[in-house]
Amino acid sequence: MKLRAIVEYDREARSYAVYCPELPGCTSAGDTEDEALENIKEAIAVYLEPAPVTIRPESKVFEVEVSV
């Protein structure tokens, strides 16, 4: 899966902000564009990490893969 990462230079902070528009609230930053892009990869991994849930015995759990 490929996602867009929007990188913007913040003159006031003197660093690069980055966010993923497909994942609301998934943001990061870095001192360089490269660092910001590496950091957003980590933020995306954490964002997409499955949350713990209580599953009823009669429920079935499936893992699905998405390709776009």
pLDDT-based confidence at 67, cuts 50/70/90?
confident
Q: Note the pTM of the prediction, 2 decimals.
A: 0.79
Domains of the chain (ranges, CATH numbers): 1-68 (3.30.160.250)
pLDDT digits (tens, 9 = 90+) for 32-58: 999 999 999 999 999 999 889 999 999
At 41 the pLDDT is 98
Q: Ramachandran region of residue 6, left (φ > 0), alpha (ψ -120 to 50) or beta?
A: beta
At 15 the pLDDT is 98
**11, 7, 45, 51 alpha-carbon torsion, rounded to 10°:** 70
